[in-house]
Amino acid sequence: MKKSRITGVGHYLPPNIVTNEDLSQMMDTSHDWIVERTGIEERRWFRPGVDTVTNMAAKASRVAIERAGIHAKEIDFIVFATITPDYFVPGNGVLVQRELGLQLVGALDVRNACSGFIYALSVADQFVKTGMYKCVLVIGAEIQSSALDKRTEGRSSAVIFADGAGAAIVQAVEPNSPGILSTHLHADGDYAEELYVKDPGSSREERLSAQLIESGSFHMKMNGSAVFKHAVEKFQEVIHEALEHNGKSPGEIDLLVPHQANLRISKFIQQTLALPDDKVFNNIMYYGNTTAATIPMALSEAWEQGKLHPGDLVCLAAFGSGFSWASALLNW
């Protein structure tokens, strides 16, 4: 049986920086409130008519392909994690496939929100391990800013979510090489409505109507304190699950890359695992929460900053809408 390994990572951020000061011109909020509650100082919002989820993902993918030292034509499958696809149908996998000129490889979309990248990585890992594919492109990319309610009514989520794209190349390697050790996926649908975008849903007479738009039901809705409480609990559980499964302890982690949900959540997890600052990677301060894109974006930045060395024990963990949560333990 083969093992799978991340051999290249890349990311792309739209250049349009939106500061907390900019947000306070749109809604009743302040730089200090946002920094204190979330750690976010600025984020990127896409440029309508220029950036799309597809073209941002393609840019991130090209960087990952180059860093993996492969030719794009070696990719034999695509897994695309996003909850903000360019079209309602088809999904974003086929769109990035077209953009990268990879016709006729299979393309799968994953809709597990903030856990989406780890779910997608797990799918790639299973396909590679069983020998079905040798080189999988795994993407997390989002444009969240167009779904935010930018009035005071929507401020608790409008200050958090943002746009960006990240990608990873997952390749088959020999079983004794460094690579993905295990992935752990969980969900609890009892909490589906605690963090969700209700419309345009299909179970109504008309998917879109003036009344529905007026009701604002297409905006992201979040019960912030319920999300916070469950996130701190499940992040810890799923990280310990990954470590125990592989006979490792928290002290052996070289780099923890948590989903960038909220800096307070990351700091809390860091504290409970007793990890020093240099063993936890955070960049939410500059980019906000880009849902499925945070982990590949963070991996790409960590790699650029020389924080990932061959063989390092790296733990990825995420929590989000669903609720769903997941972890992956790997040797870089």
Ligand X SMILES: CC(C)(COP(=O)(O)OP(=O)(O)OC[C@H]1O[C@@H](n2cnc3c(N)ncnc32)[C@H](O)[C@@H]1OP(=O)(O)O)[C@@H](O)C(=O)NCCC(=O)NCCS
Active site residues: 114, 259, 289
Backbone angles phi, psi at 60, to 5 degrees: -60, -40
Closer by beta carbon to ligand X, 139 or else 159: 159
Asked if 262 interacts with ligand X (CB under 6 A), we say yes
Of 19, 283, 45, 58, nearest to 164 by C-alpha is: 45
In whole angstroms, the minimum distance from the beta carbon of 224 to ligand X comes to: 3
How many other CB atoms are found less than 10 A from the CB of residue 309? 11
Asked if 317 interacts with ligand X (CB under 6 A), we say no
Q: Report the relative pairing of strands 180-187 and 195-196 from DSSP bridges.
A: unpaired
What residues between 113 and 142 interact with ligand X by CB under 6 A? Answer: 114
In whole angstroms, the minimum distance from the beta carbon of 199 to ligand X comes to: 20
Asked if 297 interacts with ligand X (CB under 6 A), we say no
Alpha-carbon Rg for the chain, nearest whole angstrom, is 19
Closer by beta carbon to ligand X, 55 or else 112: 112
| Residues 75 and 128 sit within 8 Å (Cβ to Cβ) | no
Asked if 268 interacts with ligand X (CB under 6 A), we say no
In the list 167, 239, 242, 265, the residue contacting ligand X (rule: CB under 6 A) is: 265
SS3 104: coil
Specify the stretch interacting with ligand X by CB under 6 A; choose among 3-11, 184-192, 238-246, 258-266. 258-266
Total number of residues that touch ligand X (CB under 6 A): 20
Distance CA 20, CA 131 (A): 47
Instruction: List, as own/partner pairs, every contact residues 58-61 make where C-beta atoms lie below 8 angstroms and the sequence separation is at least 24, other chains included.
Output: 58/96, 58/99, 58/100, 59/10, 59/12, 59/165, 60/10, 60/11, 60/12, 60/139, 60/141, 60/165, 60/166, 60/167, 60/296, 60/297, 60/300, 61/10, 61/96, 61/100, 61/137, 61/139, 61/167
| CA 165 from centre of chain | 8
What residues between 48 and 107 interact with ligand X by CB under 6 A? Answer: none
Closer by beta carbon to ligand X, 35 or else 173: 35
SS3 325: strand
Rounded to a whole number of angstroms, the distance between the first and last alpha carbons of the chain is 19
In the list 130, 225, 249, 271, the residue contacting ligand X (rule: CB under 6 A) is: 225
In the list 20, 156, 266, 282, the residue contacting ligand X (rule: CB under 6 A) is: 156
In the list 54, 289, 300, 327, the residue contacting ligand X (rule: CB under 6 A) is: 289
Closer by beta carbon to ligand X, 265 or else 316: 265
Backbone angles phi, psi at 204, to 5 degrees: -150, 165
Q: x-or-dash pattern for ligand X, window 13-42, by CB under 6 A?
A: ----------------x---xx--xx----
In whole angstroms, the minimum distance from the beta carbon of 229 to ligand X comes to: 9
Closer by beta carbon to ligand X, 26 or else 108: 26
In the list 67, 155, 219, 307, the residue contacting ligand X (rule: CB under 6 A) is: 155
Closer by beta carbon to ligand X, 96 or else 292: 292
And the tokens for 197?
């975008």
In the list 191, 218, 228, 268, the residue contacting ligand X (rule: CB under 6 A) is: 228
Asked if 224 interacts with ligand X (CB under 6 A), we say yes
- The footprint of ligand X (CB under 6 A) covers 29, 33-34, 37-38, 114, 155-156, 159-160, 224-225, 227-228, 231, 261-262, 265, 289, 320
